[in-house]
Amino acid sequence: MEPESTLTTCYRHPKVESHVRCTRCERFICPDCMRAAAVGHQCPECVREGARSVRQARTAFGGQITAVPLVTYVLIGLNVLAYLGELVRPAIVDRFEMLGAGLVGPDGGHYVWQAAYPPDFHVEGVVDGEWYRLLTGAFLHLPPTEGTFGILHIVMNMVSLWNIGRVVEAQLGRIRYLALYLLSALGGSVLVLLVAPHEPTLGASGAIFGLGAAYYVLARRLGADMSQVNRFMAGLLLWLLISAGLTSWQGHLGGLLAGAVVTVAYAYAPRDGRRALVQAGACAALLVLLVVCAWAKAAELTGAQ
C-alpha cells in the first residue's frame, strides 16, 4: 500500500495548495505570494528583508543620490519669499540685514556707528545680541528703490543659485549641500563683521560664492575637464573684484573661503567608514571657528563703547 501524500499549503494562505518554496526561508508560497528573484521565487517577507539589507547608492562624496534638487528649490523659494516680504514691509531690511554695530536715534533713524554716542541713542546689530543677522542677511536683497541694481541683485543671485546649486547638490546630496550653503553664508557674514562691522550688508552672494568654490573643488577631485570650470571661476573672481565698488566684497570673499574649506573636507575625506565623521567634524570645526571669531569681534566692539 502506497503512503498517503501530504498536502502542502501556502504559509500566508493556509487554504491554498502550494508546491513552491521560497528560496530564502524555504516556506511554501502560493502564486499570489511569489516574488521573482535572481534564482527561483521568494516570499514577500524575504523580499522586504532583502531590500533593507541592500546598500543605498551614494555619490562620489558620500551623499545620497537624488534626482530632484529639492534644497536648491527651497532656498530659491525662501529668498523670493523674503524679497516679497521686503516689498510689503520695507522695515524688514533694517531689522534683519547683516550689521555688526549701528546706532538708532530717538527719531527711529539709523546712524553710523560711533564709539561715544548720545545717551538717547541705542545700539543695534550683532553687538546688541542680534546674532540672527549673521544668517538672515543672506536671505535678503537690495530693494527695487535702489535703482536697476536693486532688482538685478536678487535676479543675478537666484539665476546663479539655480545654475550652480543643482550641480553641487547632485554631487553632495541634500544634507551636505545644505551645510555647505549655510556655512558659506555664515562665513561671508563673519568676515563682514571682522572687516566692516559698521556697514549694513545683505544678499545671498556669500553663499553662492561658496557654491562656486565647491563647484571648482569637486570638478578637480572628479578629474573633470577644467577648461570650462576655470572660465567659470575666472568670471567669479572678476565679479569679486567688481563687487568691491558695488556690494560687499567681504561677504563674497568670506563665503568663497568657507565654501572652499568645507568642500575640501567633503572631497578628500577617507572613503571608508570614517568619511561621514570626518566631513561632519570639519563642518563643526569651521562652525566653532566662525562663532568664536564673531563673538570675539562683538566683545571688542562692545568694549570700545
Q: What percent of the chain is modeled with pLDDT above 70?
A: 90
Query: Dihedral of CA 75/194/283/263: which sign?
Result: positive
CA-CA distance, 125 to 59, in Å (whole number)?
41
Mean pLDDT within 202-219: 93
15 and 92 belong to one structural domain: no
| Spacing of C-alpha 129 from chain mean position | 25
Is 166 among the domain residues?
yes
Decide: 278 and 175 in contact? Cβ < 8 Å: no
CA-CA distance, 83 to 71, in Å (whole number)?
18
223 and 83 belong to one structural domain: yes
CA-based radius of gyration for the chain: 28
pLDDT grade for 121, boundaries at 50, 70 and 90 = confident
CA-CA distance, 27 to 45, in Å (whole number)?
11
Is 229 among the domain residues?
yes
Instruction: Domain count for the chain, please give it.
Output: 2
Mean pLDDT within 284-303: 93
Q: What percent of the chain is modeled with pLDDT above 90?
A: 44
223 and 145 belong to one structural domain: yes
For residue 17, the cross-strand partners are 9
122 and 26 belong to one structural domain: no
For residue 41, the cross-strand partners are 36
Taking the alpha carbons at both ends of the chain, their separation in whole angstroms is 109
43 and 153 belong to one structural domain: no
pLDDT grade for 39, boundaries at 50, 70 and 90 = confident
pLDDT at position 151, please?
Answer: 82
Place of cell 554716542: 117
pLDDT at position 35, please?
Answer: 86
279 and 184 belong to one structural domain: yes
Pick 115 or 262 by higher pLDDT: 262
Q: Is the pTM of this model over 0.75?
A: yes
pLDDT grade for 46, boundaries at 50, 70 and 90 = confident
Is 165 among the domain residues?
yes
82 and 174 belong to one structural domain: yes
85 and 211 belong to one structural domain: yes
2 and 96 belong to one structural domain: no
pLDDT at position 120, please?
Answer: 73
- Which runs of consecutive H residues, i.e. helices, occur in the chain? 44-53, 70-88, 91-96, 133-136, 148-172, 174-195, 205-222, 226-242, 249-268, 275-303
User: Please, what is the average pLDDT of the chain?
Assistant: 86
37 and 109 belong to one structural domain: no
Is 61 among the domain residues?
no
pLDDT above 90: residue 179: yes
15 and 41 belong to one structural domain: yes
| Domain assignment of residue 279, given as a range | 70-303
193 and 270 belong to one structural domain: yes
Give me 85's grid cell. 516680504
pLDDT grade for 31, boundaries at 50, 70 and 90 = confident
Picking from 210, 228, 207, the residue whose alpha carbon sits closest to that of residue 219 is: 228
